[in-house]
């Protein structure tokens, strides 16, 4: 029934990798913007407005479309016959990590809304620590897919 996906495998895989790269770039950069925003910017200043614009555009124009594309092409790969060995651990480790990556994306979106509302309560140190979260998930995903444990 889904055999037609086999003909698109290399395209789905390529587009998935591209979407993941752009999504990850945003997941690494947005928390760093939050660090500078909270530590260097006076709330209500023109610089505050500039940071809010940069954060909004990064999230809405790059991260959201990239996340959707990563999910779309990833699911195409999942449903391509013969690609996923469901008896192994790796697809479940990757799947759980992608769900956590999506949660992190949504957490960042919620923090952006707090900056807009002027209610951010987190210090730069917390954003620095959270900036490591996608790195850990990326390691799990890459090792799961390449090593296929």
Section 127-138 average pLDDT: 96
Alpha-carbon Rg for the chain, nearest whole angstrom, is: 18
* pLDDT, the chain, mean: 96
**pLDDT tier at 149 (50, 70, 90 boundaries)?**
confident
**pLDDT tier at 31 (50, 70, 90 boundaries)?**
very high
- Identify whether the C-beta of residue 101 lies closer than 8 Å to the C-beta of residue 112: no
What pLDDT, on the 0 to 100 scale, is given for residue 1? 63
pLDDT in tens, 75-102: 999 999 999 999 999 999 999 999 999 9
């Amino acid at each position: 029934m889904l055999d037609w996906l086999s003909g698109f495998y290399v395209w789905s895989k390529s587009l998935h990798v591209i979407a993941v790269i752009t999504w990850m770039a945003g997941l690494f950069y947005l928390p760093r913007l939050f660090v500078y925003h909270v530590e260097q910017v006076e709330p209500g200043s023109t610089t505050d407005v500039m940071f809010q614009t940069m954060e909004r555009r990064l999230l809405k124009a790059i991260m959201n479309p990239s996340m959707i594309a990563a999910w779309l092409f990833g699911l195409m790969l999942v449903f391509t016959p013969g690609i996923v060995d469901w008896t192994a651990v790796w697809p479940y480790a990757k799947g759980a990590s992608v769900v956590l990556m999506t949660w992190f994306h949504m957490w960042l979106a919620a923090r952006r809304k707090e900056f807009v509302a002027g209610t951010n309560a987190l210090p730069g140190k917390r954003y620095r620590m959270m900036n490591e979260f996608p790195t850990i998930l990326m390691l799990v995903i890459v090792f799961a897919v390449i090593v296929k444990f």
